[in-house]
Structure formats: C-alpha cells, structure tokens
RNA sequence: GCCCCUGUAGACCAAUCGGCAGAGUCGAUGGACUCAAAAUCCAUACAGUGUGGGUUCGAAUCCCACCGGGGGCACCA
C-alpha cells in the first residue's frame, strides 16, 4: 500500500509541489542550519559583553517526564504554542529565553529496572534521547545549551545544595521570613531569644541543643502520621493520595501510620502562599484551587473546662457558642484516656444515662477502646463512605464557658485529629453534621441563629440575627453573624477562655521516599547513636561533599508488601548499598564529635524536588560555583517595578499541576528569596493552562477497544462507525495505549511534514481549550501550505512566480488586515484565528493572481507572518526570495492604519430589530447623516408609511435600528 | 453534596462595548483535470446559538432556573 508521502511524489504530481517529501527535506535542512548556526542561543548579560538587544522575555514550558512510550500528538501542543509565541517575540525585537529540559527521576524507569535489571540511568538516557529527537523534528526554537535533566549529576548537586539551605533555615514568624538557623543559634546563645519551654539554652547538652534547632528547621525529621502504601513500598504525600484513600499511582490502598520521615515546613509559608496569589497573573481557577488547598479559615479557639484540664476547640462559628450542646473529640485525641472515668456516671441533670450513648459497654474505657478498634480497622475510604454518624460517650462532661452548662463529651470519627485541635464544640442547630449526630444520640438541639421565614431544613448554616445567646455579662441577641463573632471572641479573650485563631488545611510536605531513582539526601547520622540516648540527629554534609552520588545497587526495588499489609514498614533500596551507607568523617555539623563513623540517609527525595527549581538552572546551566548567578537571576526574573513579584514571564502547562508542583515550587522559591539567593519573590509571574488533545476511541460489541485508525464512518451501522465491517461504538477520552487511539507526531511529520502538523495543532482551537484529535482534518492545513508555496514557487519549474509589481488597493487592504489581525492574535495566543486570517489572505491572493505574478511586496510580509507558525517553510521561501539571513530575527510586518479604514460602510437598517434594508454611506458620515440616510431609504419609507418613528438608534459603523 | 469552567452548522471552531450569527478547516454535494482513480483546483448547500423565562430598541453575549459535558474539593468544625 502506498503511503501518502509516496503518492505525493508519484507520477502526475507536479515535480515542485510542496509534498510531504519536500517538506521533510526542507525541515531537516533548516533544523541542521539552526543548530549549526546556533540561531536560538541567547546570551546572559555580562559586564563586559554587549548589552542585550531587546527587552527580555523568559518563556517556559512545564518540562516533560521522558516516558518510554515516547510522545503522542497531545504532548507537544503546549511546546508548539510557546514556540510560536517565542518566535513572534523574537521578530518583534524581544530577547527570548526558551529552553527545554527533562524531569527524569521517577517511578517508571525504576520499575523497568526492577523487572529487567537495566540501570534506570540507561533507560532514562535512552528515553531522553528519543524525546530530544521527537522534539527536534518539530522545529522548536530552543536554546540547546541550556537544556538540563534533573538526573544530571551537575543538576542534582544543586538540588541537594538547595535542600541544605532549607535544612539550615528556620522561619522567624516575627520577621515573617526564613532566616539562617545559625542566627537562631546565636540569638539563643546570646540570650536574646528564650526557649519556648522555659529551659536555659546554656545548660542544655549539645544533643539537646541540636534537637531544639531541629525543631525549628524548615526541613526536619518527624514521627508523623504518613500515608503508607505497602504495595508500592513507599510513603506518599497527602497530595499523592486520592480522595478515596488510594495511591494516585497504581490505585493501591494507603494506610495512615506513624513513621519517622523528612518533612518540609511549607505551613510556615501558608499565609504568604495564599496572599501572594494576588500579585501573580494566573488563571482564577488555579488561584482558587491553591487557596482551597491552603484552606485558611478565620475562627476562634475556645477552652472548655473538664476534669482532665481544659479542652481546646477550634471553631469558625464562635457566635454559635450558646448553641453548643455537646463536645466531640477525635478517637486519637490525647485527652481521651485522661477523661474516661472508671464507671458510667449519672448525668448532672439527674436523668438516666441514655442507652444509646454507651454502645452497650460495661465501662466507658471499654466503650472507647471498642470504638477505637472499629475505627482503626476502617480504611480511609470506608470512613468517608460511611456517612452515618457513629461514636461513643466518654463518660465525662465539660463546661460551656458562656453559661456554665455541662456538655457531654463524645468520641466520634467524624472529627479528624489532623484538622484544628482534633476537638469540636457541636452546635446541632447550625451544623448539619452535628444535627445528624445529635439525632442519632438523642442530644438537645438549640437554635441560636434565627432562620428566615419559611425555612424548613434541619441545621441552619446561613446568615441571620443571633437568638437565645445571652448571659449575665454579654448578649449577642439580634447581632448578625460577623458582629456576634467579634463580640463573643472579645468576651472570651477577656476571660482567658479563648482567642481568635487562623486555621489551615495545608499540612507540612512529606519529603522522603523509599526509592532508588531519586536524589540522595546530603545527610548522615552518627553510627553509634546520640550521647543522650535519644533518636538520631540528622547531620548535614558539607557543601564540599556534594554531589552525593547515587550508589550502584543490585536490586532497585524498595521492599514492597501485600497491598493490604498495614503493619509493614518501609525499607529503601539504598539501605542495601552497605559500602555507600557507612563512612568516616569529621563533620562540622556535628561539633560534639571529631572523626566518627556515620550512616547515610537512605531515603531519596520525591520527584517534585527537581521540578521545584529547574527553571532557575536554565538561566545559568553551566555555573560551577552557584545554582544560578545572582545577576543573571535578577536580569531574567527580577521584579520589573513596584508591586511586581518577578518570575518567569510566561509559564505554560497543563492544569493538572495546579496544586502540587506549582505550590511546592513557589515554596522553594520563597525560601531562596528569603535567604537572599534570588531577587524574585514568586517563580512564575504569569501562568497559562493549555488544553489537552483528546481523541476518539472505539469499542466493539464485547467492549474491547479496536485500533481507532482502522475505524471507518458508516452511516448504515447502528453506531455510525464500523471496524472490519462490525459496528463499533465511539467514545471520547485521553490518548493512550489502553484506548488504542495513539497518534504520534512522527507519523504526522512523515505524512505531512512538521509545519503542517504545527499548523494543524495551532488551528484546531484556542490554546486553553481541549479538543479532539482528528487525523482526517490535517490535510486542510497541508493544502493551505501548498497554496502558499504555489504563490511563490512554480510547481512545474520550481522557479519563483513573484513579480516586482505594485499590488492593487484591495490586495493591500487584505494584507494589512491580515497583519493587523495576526499581530493581535499571536501575542494573545489566539493561534486558531491568526491562522484563519492567513488563510484568508492566501485565498485572496490565489484568486487575484491565478496565473502567478503575485507582488513581492505582499508575498514577503505573508512569509514573515507565517514564520512563527511554520518556520521551516517560511525560512525556505524567505531564502528563495533572495534573503541570505535567517528570518528568525527579521522584523515582523507592521500594519499601516491608513489601509485598515474603509472609504464607505454598509449599514444594515433594522426596523423593530429585524433587518429590512441595507445602505452604503461614506465612512466619514456623521451620526445625523446616517440617521437621515436611513430614514430616506425607500424600503424604510414604505414600511413607516408616513408614521413618525418612535426612536432611531444609530450605532456608528454598525447598524441603524428604527423603532416604529 | 459544594465550587469552577463549558454548551454556536454533520465535526472542530469564529463572532471588540449587547449591534447583520460566519473568519477558517474537515466532511457532504456538484464541477474542472484524468482512460480511470488518487492528488490538486473551483463552486454550492447546511445552524439561529442546550431548554424555559427575564432585562433591552436590540441577547450567542447580561440575569434567573433547569438539562448535558469537563474539572476541582469533599465529615475541614
């Protein structure tokens, strides 16, 4: 079977037609040319070098993970989009930095290594080479000298270095920024700062002092509840666990358990991460997602007295305090054991104890223990699915500070230990969850906010005046929610029973993984333990020891377990590299010891580490002294004026990174900013989310996916499509192997050429929209490029067909309209409409000059207009038109405003909103002249039949509407 | 359940401030070229903007309700 490329070059086709074969030849030639001439290399400013030519623009794509499957046509959508913009900006005089790197640590290479024994580096490098080749054939104008991969030793050296800076920092809440931990130590030593627990710094032993410092570091070890995934053999960050309590990768069960792990104190930055969103130009949807993730809420902490001491409760509705009728603690709450009495008490009210409260247990301790057992055996998923309220009475009462009322204390799993204080005051009148629980356990319900007339729901959570809310000292009655909140919080604070407080959903970032293929931590522990017998203190390795190289190991797999083996414990593959793990040194970070034996940290960093700062390394990829030179960073990323946070000028990628990558990267950047290493306070000044390329997939009668490329449209089939004559059902989804609908850029480049592929991807819709891939439609873009080629080159002879004649006025107008439109559309990334305007111009020229002889003064601007979208074809035509230099830096055409205005305007004339007639008037006509002309129109006179119109609306340049 | 985005010819998509529903592409139909086909070129037809209300001289555009599609969050006190 002949391929399209063969058909294009076969007999009967003019010898100099723009076929796929010719396109491929042109494209390879120009790609080689750009590479050999270093066309897209961009220099950093230097004191002795020449000043940069134009205003800088740092253009950035979210770098890809080089998977073994290679690219499909969906992947390069964003890359092509940024390339078009970058090329346009270069032609308008900007100095553009555009580079491409690889996020190359990651699980697939490691899993492949586990299966085959191939070193992950081998697999990764092969995949990167394939990606580079696939990207190169698309003609993307990247500065190749700036390409980095997170797995490069010279890259992860600096990832480790940044980790050391974070580890060597603490967050000074008074100053509102991170500072070197050495300054904290100095202040403690000098007595300027006291220890929060009242101990005297000078009397502490060295390990005790180190532990105090470790409690402040932005990177710290903690026994924290983590998400342990036995099947993957590793812990996961909160962000990597799905809503139904499974691993995002692989969909395995995840269990909560306590483990000693590396954490990043991202919560210290919660306010700045939320507030600084105001200063960046990001889509509102992404800002909202980040704000929701940080989850800042204003509220109050209230203390309820109990026999086991005060119980701290967080609430966002302190105004409803008079409506509290019981308290609930999370089952894991530390006070539960102290509260639980030996025997069931009689209620202070003198009533019988409600049978529903005890769960049938003989003693409170038994009831609580039994309930805890039930809860612990539930997975997170089950806990979420079970909406029925369960719980048990602890046997204890607390006192409501506003009215001295005794409130029974329950334990229930609808209260989470991880949020607030792990204890709530329950206000069934104004909270549906509390209402449900109160209903199950027969607890009193009291409204303290007046619901509106006709409200027939249960709990009322809306606005309204307070009721039933007064004691001898204070009355909230009649106050609206906000006023009531401030009043009661002030009253509580005055009595020492509470204070205003801010809560966040954001948790600290779990930063260690039990994996091989990641950055090793530059950390070690004393082999013989600590002199005070406490847990090991992590010791930073000196900068001179960087990079800490990944050792070779026999087995790359972490120890994995049965998916539901909740009691298993993680074990990193690096722990088996015993020669690497143990070493002897005299560490400055361990002043207590001289030369001593140490054991390396055997966890590795999560995949996010490299992506937190790669955009900084593009700026200065070969710097041996620093991760990025300060002046270079200031030039490319520095703030442009007051109120500007600085950062990358445009960052383009999918919305799937709205919280994870973008939040982590902002956090690292802010730490580096606080420590004075970067001048920008935000990494990405402007963010743009491109859409996805989706694809149709087809299933047969059994529901099995069939190869999408072999499916034909068939109106006679019940489903409209057939495969091998069988009807198949169409569905819409992601492009991928499992749906058997993958189309690769390689196929498209072979069948049509890269310029056609680029043009097609850019013309199917606006950059932000997802759209279906349709191979059938690609030919339209190809035909357009053939028309452009034919305007310049004779298909029979290969000679130029342009003439040095003057274009007519219509053609000139068409050209300048196109210039004007394209100049507006390209910087706005409205590539689909820019393409339409180019096609319109080409169609006009084809029609106007059917026998060749298109004026050079029109053709040359057309070629330049096309250059950002189809650079190879444009370069080729530009060169054939006699220009020896690349057009990459040629000036982009400018529209002549005089040619954009028309002499006359055609006005539709509406009568009562319906178009009844048309007229042509000079463009310079005044509103009154237009009105007069419209009223004089024969059709209008006929329709009005002598009557006076009630109203005449003239929209200049648009239309006239006459209301009868 | 809550929040956000979205709905325009058979398909993908256009339409400055609310102002003539159509720029462009595919497909369809007809024609040119061809012995024929492919490729290429030329021409034509096709929707009243998811549904129902409202505001307005005028609504795809603004407002309300509902329906469909996509995404995010989810016992967060």
How far: A293 CA to B2 C1' (Å)? 15
A908 against A265, higher pLDDT: A265
DSSP assignment of A665-697: HHHHHHHHHHTTS-S-S-SBSBEEE---EEEEE
pLDDT over 90 percentage in chain A: 60
Q: Is strand B less than 7 A from the beta carbon of A779?
A: yes
Strand order in the sheet with A509-510: A234-236, A219-229, A255-264, A509-510
Within residues 916-935 of protein chain A, the ones with CB less than 7 A from nucleic strand B are 918
Closest CA to A542 of A167, A89, A858, A846: A167
Pairing of strands A56-61, A95-98: parallel
Residues 6+ apart with CB under 8 A from A630: A677, A678, A679
Q: What's the 3-state SS for A504-525?
A: CCCCCEECCECCCCCCECCEEE
| Helices H / strands E in chain A, number of each | 30, 34
Report the mean per-residue pLDDT for chain A. 89
Q: What is the mean pLDDT of residues A391-398?
A: 93
Q: Are A759 and A784 in contact (CB under 8 A)?
A: yes
- The string of pLDDT tens digits covering residues A548-564 is 999 988 888 878 888 88
Taking the C-alpha atoms of residue A517 and residue A605, their distance in angstroms, rounded to an integer, is 9
Q: Is strand B less than 7 A from the beta carbon of A505?
A: yes
Pairing of strands A297-306, A311-315: antiparallel
Least confident of A126-130, A797-801, A901-905, A926-930: A901-905
User: Residue A383's pLDDT is what?
Assistant: 62
Residue A373, φ and ψ in degrees, nearest 5: -60, -45
pLDDT for A6 beyond 50? no
Closest CA to A397 of A304, A269, A534: A304
Residues 6+ apart with CB under 8 A from A265: A171, A217, A218, A219, A220, A508
Pair of tokens at residue A92:
């308008």
Within residues 657-676 of protein chain A, the ones with CB less than 7 A from nucleic strand B are 658-659
Instruction: Please give the helix or strand (H or E) that residue A743 lies within, else none.
Output: none
DSSP assignment of A826-846: TTTT-HHHHHHHHHHHHHHHH
User: Residue A2's pLDDT is what?
Assistant: 34
Taking the C-alpha atoms of residue A315 and residue A455, their distance in angstroms, rounded to an integer, is 24
Closest CA to A302 of A118, A446, A490, A133: A490
User: Residue A514's pLDDT is what?
Assistant: 86
Pairing of strands A802-803, A729-734: unpaired
Q: Are A506 and A491 in contact (CB under 8 A)?
A: no
pLDDT for A39 beyond 50? yes
User: Residue A11's pLDDT is what?
Assistant: 56
- Using alpha carbons only, give the angle A704, A709, A715 rounded to the nearest 5 degrees: 80
Q: Is strand B less than 7 A from the beta carbon of A836?
A: yes
Q: Is strand B less than 7 A from the beta carbon of A774?
A: yes
User: Residue A10's pLDDT is what?
Assistant: 47
Residues 6+ apart with CB under 8 A from A236: A226, A227, A229, A247, A248, A254, A510
How far: A142 CA to B44 C1' (Å)? 46
Within residues 221-260 of protein chain A, the ones with CB less than 7 A from nucleic strand B are 243
pLDDT for A386 beyond 80? no
Q: Are A674 and A177 in contact (CB under 8 A)?
A: yes
Q: Is strand B less than 7 A from the beta carbon of A418?
A: yes
Q: Are A327 and A408 in contact (CB under 8 A)?
A: yes
- Residue A379 pLDDT level (bands cut at 50, 70, 90): low
Pair of tokens at residue A428:
């069934």
Q: Is strand B less than 7 A from the beta carbon of A835?
A: yes
Taking the C-alpha atoms of residue A441 and residue A388, their distance in angstroms, rounded to an integer, is 12
Residues 6+ apart with CB under 8 A from A870: A755, A756, A758, A759, A785
For CA atoms A232, A233, A238, A239, give the dihedral sign.
Answer: negative
Q: Are A615 and A648 in contact (CB under 8 A)?
A: yes
Longest dimension (CA), chain A: 110
Q: What is the mean pLDDT of residues A407-435?
A: 91
- Using alpha carbons only, give the angle A743, A747, A750 rounded to the nearest 5 degrees: 160
Taking the C-alpha atoms of residue A239 and residue A663, their distance in angstroms, rounded to an integer, is 11
User: Residue A852's pLDDT is what?
Assistant: 86
Residue A822, φ and ψ in degrees, nearest 5: -65, -40
pLDDT for A4 beyond 60? no
A790 against A572, higher pLDDT: A790
Q: Are A302 and A498 in contact (CB under 8 A)?
A: yes
Taking the C-alpha atoms of residue A868 and residue A888, their distance in angstroms, rounded to an integer, is 8
- The string of pLDDT tens digits covering residues A432-470 is 889 999 999 999 999 999 887 777 778 888 888 899 999
- Residue A384 pLDDT level (bands cut at 50, 70, 90): low
> What is the C-alpha end-to-end distance of chain A, expressed in Å?
68
Closest CA to A300 of A444, A420, A170, A464: A420
- Using alpha carbons only, give the angle A642, A644, A650 rounded to the nearest 5 degrees: 155
pLDDT for A7 beyond 70? no
Q: Is strand B less than 7 A from the beta carbon of A419?
A: yes
How far: A710 CA to B47 C1' (Å)? 31
Closest CA to A627 of A145, A156, A44: A156
Q: Are A144 and A157 in contact (CB under 8 A)?
A: no
Burial of A169 per CB tally in 10 Å (0-12, 13-18, 19+): buried
pLDDT for A646 beyond 80? yes
For CA atoms A775, A780, A781, A786, give the dihedral sign.
Answer: positive
Taking the C-alpha atoms of residue A906 and residue A336, their distance in angstroms, rounded to an integer, is 82
Q: What's the 3-state SS for A849-883?
A: CCCCCEEHHHHHHHHHHHCCCCHHHHHHHHHHCCC
State how far the alpha carbon of A842 is from the alpha carbons of A737, A796, A839, in Å: 39, 20, 5
- Residue A494 pLDDT level (bands cut at 50, 70, 90): very high
- Residue A349 pLDDT level (bands cut at 50, 70, 90): confident
pLDDT for A760 beyond 60? yes
Q: Are A477 and A467 in contact (CB under 8 A)?
A: yes
In strand B, which positions have an atom below 7 A from any protein CB?
3-5, 11-15, 19-21, 23-27, 36-43, 57-59, 70-77
- The string of pLDDT tens digits covering residues A936-951 is 888 888 888 777 888 8
Tell me the sheet residues that pair with A306.
A398
Pair of tokens at residue A137:
């054939």
> Residue A450: helix, strand or coil by DSSP?
coil
pLDDT over 70 percentage in chain A: 96
Q: Are A579 and A529 in contact (CB under 8 A)?
A: no
| Closest nucleotide C1' to the C-alpha of A953 | B57
Going from the N-terminus, what domains does chain A have, and what CATH number goes with each? 174-216 (no CATH), 297-503 (3.90.740.10), 740-898 (1.10.730.10), 902-963 (3.10.20.590)
Within residues 749-768 of protein chain A, the ones with CB less than 7 A from nucleic strand B are 763-766
pLDDT for A374 beyond 90? no
Pair of tokens at residue A724:
């091998």
Taking the C-alpha atoms of residue A161 and residue A449, their distance in angstroms, rounded to an integer, is 55
Closest CA to A621 of A944, A149, A255: A149
Token pair 């606006």: residue: A766
| Closest nucleotide C1' to the C-alpha of A504 | B76
Torsion of CA A746, A751, A755, A758, to 10 degrees: -60
For residue A686, say whether it is annotated as part of any ligand binding site: no
How far: A384 CA to B74 C1' (Å)? 9
Residue A484, φ and ψ in degrees, nearest 5: -65, -40
Residues 6+ apart with CB under 8 A from A689: A283, A285, A286, A652, A653, A654, A655, A658, A768
DSSP A499: E
- The string of pLDDT tens digits covering residues A211-255 is 999 999 999 998 877 788 888 888 877 667 776 667 777 778 887
Taking the C-alpha atoms of residue A933 and residue A956, their distance in angstroms, rounded to an integer, is 13
A927 against A58, higher pLDDT: A58
Rg (CA), chain A: 35
Q: Give the Cβ contact number of residue A381 at 10 Å.
A: 15
Torsion of CA A289, A294, A296, A301, to 10 degrees: 140
- The string of pLDDT tens digits covering residues A702-757 is 878 888 888 877 766 777 777 887 888 777 777 878 788 889 999 999 999 999 99
Q: What is the mean pLDDT of residues A524-536?
A: 91
State how far the alpha carbon of A793 is from the alpha carbons of A325, A420, A854, A873, in Å: 86, 72, 11, 12
Q: Are A878 and A804 in contact (CB under 8 A)?
A: no
Least confident of A201-210, A351-360, A495-504, A725-734: A725-734
Within residues 268-297 of protein chain A, the ones with CB less than 7 A from nucleic strand B are 284-285, 288-289, 292-293, 295, 297
- The string of pLDDT tens digits covering residues A872-897 is 999 999 999 999 999 999 999 999 98
């Amino acid at each position: 079977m002949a391929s399209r490329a063969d058909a294009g070059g076969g007999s009967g086709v003019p010898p100099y037609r723009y076929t796929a074969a010719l396109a491929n030849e042109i494209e390879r030639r120009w790609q080689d040319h750009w590479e050999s001439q270093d066309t897209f290399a961009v220099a950093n400013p230097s004191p002795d070098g020449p000043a940069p030519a134009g205003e800088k623009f740092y253009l950035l794509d979210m770098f890809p993970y080089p998977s073994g499957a290679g690219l499909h046509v969906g992947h390069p959508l964003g890359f092509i989009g940024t390339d078009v913009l970058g090329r346009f900006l270069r032609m308008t005089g900007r100095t553009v930095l555009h580079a491409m790197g690889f996020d190359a640590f990651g699980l697939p290479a490691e899993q492949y290594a586990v299966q085959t024994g191939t070193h992950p580096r081998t697999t990764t490098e092969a995949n990167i080479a394939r990606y580079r080749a696939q990207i190169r054939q698309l003609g993307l104008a990247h500065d190749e000298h700036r390409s980095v991969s997170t797995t490069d030793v010279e890259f992860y050296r600096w990832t480790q270095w940044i980790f050391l800076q974070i580890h060597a920092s603490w967050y000074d809440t008074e100053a509102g920024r991170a500072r070197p931990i050495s300054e904290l130590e100095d202040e403690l030593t000098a007595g300027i700062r006291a220890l929060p627990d009242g101990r005297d710094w000078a009397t502490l032993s060295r390990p005790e002092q180190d532990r105090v410092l470790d409690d402040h570091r932005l990177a710290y070890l903690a026994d924290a509840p983590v998400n342990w995934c036995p099947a993957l053999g590793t812990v996961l960050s909160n962000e990597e666990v799905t809503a139904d309590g499974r691993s995002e990768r692989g969909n395995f069960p995840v269990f909560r358990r306590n483990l000693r792990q590396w954490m990043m104190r991202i919560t210290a930055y919660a306010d700045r991460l939320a507030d600084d969103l105001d200063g960046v130009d990001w889509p509102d949807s992404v800002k909202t997602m980040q704000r929701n993730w940080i989850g800042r809420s204003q509220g109050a902490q209230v203390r309820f007295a109990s026999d086991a001491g005060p119980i701290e409760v967080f609430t966002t509705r302190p105004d409803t305090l008079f409506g509290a009728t019981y308290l609930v603690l999370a089952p894991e709450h530390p006070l539960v054991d102290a509260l639980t009495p030996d025997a069931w008490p009689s209620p202070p009210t003198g009533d019988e104890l409600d049978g529903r409260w005890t769960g049938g247990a003989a003693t409170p301790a038994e009831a609580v223990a039994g309930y805890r057992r039930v809860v612990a055996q539930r997975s997170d998923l089950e806990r979420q699915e079970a909406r029925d309220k369960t719980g048990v009475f602890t046997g204890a009462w607390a006192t409501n500070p506003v009215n001295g009322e005794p409130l029974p204390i329950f334990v229930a799993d609808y209260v989470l230990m991880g949020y607030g204080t792990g204890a709530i005051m329950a206000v069934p009148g104004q909270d549906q969850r509390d209402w449900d629980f109160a209903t199950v356990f027969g607890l009193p319900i009291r409204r303290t906010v007046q619901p509106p007339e006709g409200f027939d729901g249960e709990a009322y959570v809306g606005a309204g005046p307070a009721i039933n809310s007064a004691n001898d000292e204070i009355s909230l009655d009649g106050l609206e929610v906000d006023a009531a909140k401030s009043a009661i919080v002030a009253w509580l604070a005055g009595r020492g029973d509470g204070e205003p407080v801010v809560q966040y959903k954001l948790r600290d970032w779990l930063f260690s993984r039990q994996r091989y293929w990641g950055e090793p931590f530059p950390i070690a522990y004393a082999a013989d333990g600590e002199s005070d017998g406490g847990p090991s203190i992590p010791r930073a390795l000196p900068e001179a020891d960087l990079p800490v190289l990944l050792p070779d190991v026999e087995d790359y797999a972490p120890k994995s377990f049965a998916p539901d083996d909740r009691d298993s414990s993680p074990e990193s593959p690096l722990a088996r590299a015993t020669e690497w793990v143990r070493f002897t040194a005299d560490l400055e970070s361990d002043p207590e010891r001289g030369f001593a034996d140490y054991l390396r940290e055997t966890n590795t960093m999560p995949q996010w580490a490299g992506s937190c700062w790669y955009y900084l390394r593009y700026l200065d990829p070969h710097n041996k002294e620093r991760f990025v030179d300060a002046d270079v960073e200031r030039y490319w990323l520095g703030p442009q004026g007051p109120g500007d946070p600085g950062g990358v000028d445009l960052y383009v990628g999918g919305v799937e990174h709205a919280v994870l990558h973008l939040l982590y990267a902002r956090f690292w950047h802010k730490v580096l900013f606080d420590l004075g290493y970067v001048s920008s306070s935000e990494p990405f000044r402007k963010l743009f989310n491109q859409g996805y390329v989706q694809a149709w997939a087809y299933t047969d009668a059994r529901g099995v996916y069939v190869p999408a490329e072999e499916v034909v449209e068939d109106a006679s089939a019940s489903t409209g499509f057939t495969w091998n004559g069988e009807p198949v059902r169409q569905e819409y989804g992601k492009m991928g192997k499992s749906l058997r609908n993958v189309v690769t850029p390689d196929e498209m480049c072979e069948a049509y050429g890269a310029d056609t592929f680029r043009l097609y991807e850019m013309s199917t819709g606006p950059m932000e929209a997802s759209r279906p891939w349709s191979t059938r439609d690609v030919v339209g873009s190809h035909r357009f490029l053939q028309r452009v080629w034919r305007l310049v080159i004779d298909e029979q002879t290969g000679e130029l067909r342009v003439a040095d004649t003057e274009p007519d006025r219509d053609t000139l107008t068409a050209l300048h309209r196109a210039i004007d439109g394209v100049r507006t559309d390209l910087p706005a990334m409205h590539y689909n409409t820019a393409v339409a305007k180019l096609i319109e111009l080409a169609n006009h020229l084809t029609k106007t000059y059917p026998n060749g002889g298109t004026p050079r003064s029109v053709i040359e601007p057309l070629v330049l207009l096309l250059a950002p979208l189809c650079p190879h074809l444009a370069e080729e035509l530009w060169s054939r038109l006699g220009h020896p230099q690349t057009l990459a830096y040629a000036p982009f055409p400018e529209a002549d405003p005089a040619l954009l205005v028309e002499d006359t305007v055609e006005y539709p004339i509406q009568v009562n909103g319906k178009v009844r007639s048309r007229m042509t008037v000079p463009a310079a006509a005044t509103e009154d002249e237009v009105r007069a002309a419209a009223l004089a129109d024969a059709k209008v006179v006929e329709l009005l039949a002598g009557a006076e119109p009630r109203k005449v609306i003239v929209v200049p340049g648009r239309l006239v509407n006459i209301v009868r």
